[in-house]
Amino acid sequence: MSGLEALEQRLSTLAFCWRLERRDGVTIGLTSHDRDLEIGQVRYRAAPGVMPSAVRSGITADGSDTDLQGALVADAISETDLMAGRWDGAALELRLTQWEAPGAMWLLLAKGEIGSVARKAGAFTAELVGAMAALKAPVAPSTSPDCRARLGDRQCRVDLEPRRRVVAVTGVEASDVGVSGLEAGAYAFGALRWMTGPNAGMAQAVVDNGADVLTLADPPPFAVVAGTLALLTEGCDRQLETCRTRFANVVNFRGEPYLPGTDLLTRYPGA
């Protein structure tokens, strides 16, 4: 039965289904129905259950005006995971089905990524950011003396494979992570991804590093014990001199370090 035929029936047996996939691969299904639904080898759980805001579709330049509301349940969407950022940027699909024949009608209503998440009184509200939000990005990048590319992306083209290493953490104190045998400054502006322990799958920004310590932008969300494994990726300060001497990649430098700035236009003649 098509979606239009189901909506035209006098007796409605419709249910909303959400499929959420985190960036670390964890996937869960939630439904607005009062019983669990099995669809495509995924169990869409009625607990905690979620309720949608009004879903509108049209040709606009807006991202999406869909919100999700549900309860915080430890084994599905916990408060600690939301605070730690595990659900930031998670892929989400909102579909409509009939609970009498789950999956027979599988109408896609919206898809995108989870944006801002708010918590209040044991419940959560998540915003769905649709694909149309990409149209809000500037058509042409603004000029800057620093490189606009990210190390290793399609514009930079630096191979990051030899610039990654797996390390064993010797200890953590606030934002300082003990790791031995590092080249000082090599991982500044880089990233650390936890591979084991309670923080497994989460990535954190590295501010700077010495020979035996890393300084993260924020403390790890969960406790870290000695021996925890992490994947370190080198970083770049996006300066032309660094691009030339360290990466030999000036040909792909995405900046204008020699472009005169607005201060040149405000100078008095002869200054």
Largest CA distance in the chain: 83
Per-residue model confidence (pLDDT) at position 59 = 46
pLDDT by residue (tens digit) across 148-176?
Answer: 999 999 999 999 999 999 999 999 998 99
Query: Around 36, how many Cα atoms within 13 Å sit in the side-chain half-sphere?
Result: 10
Domain 161-252: give its CATH architecture: Beta Barrel (2.40)
Most confidently modeled of 44-58, 68-82, 224-238?
A: 224-238
Q: Per 3-state DSSP, what percentage of the chain is helix, strand, and coil (rounded to 5)?
A: 15, 35, 50
* Nearest alpha carbon to residue 95 among 55, 133, 46, 35: 55
Lowest mean pLDDT among 48-52, 146-150, 157-161, 248-252: 48-52
User: What single DSSP character describes residue 5?
Assistant: H
Whether 215 shows a pLDDT value over 60: the answer reads: yes
For residues 105-122, average pLDDT: 77
For residues 175-182, average pLDDT: 91
What CA–CA distance (Å, rounded) separates 84 from 223? 12
pLDDT higher for 266 or 1?
A: 266
Instruction: Show the CA angle centred on residue 71, arms to residues 69 and 73, nearest 5°.
Output: 140
* Nearest alpha carbon to residue 25 among 96, 92, 101, 90: 90
**Where are the chain's structural domains?**
3-134, 161-252
Most confidently modeled of 22-36, 197-211, 251-265?
A: 197-211
Per-residue model confidence (pLDDT) at position 61 = 47
Q: How confident is the prediction for the chain on average, in pLDDT?
A: 81
Per-residue model confidence (pLDDT) at position 191 = 94
Q: What's the whole-model pTM score? A: 0.68
Q: How many CB atoms lie under 10 A from the CB of residue 208?
A: 15
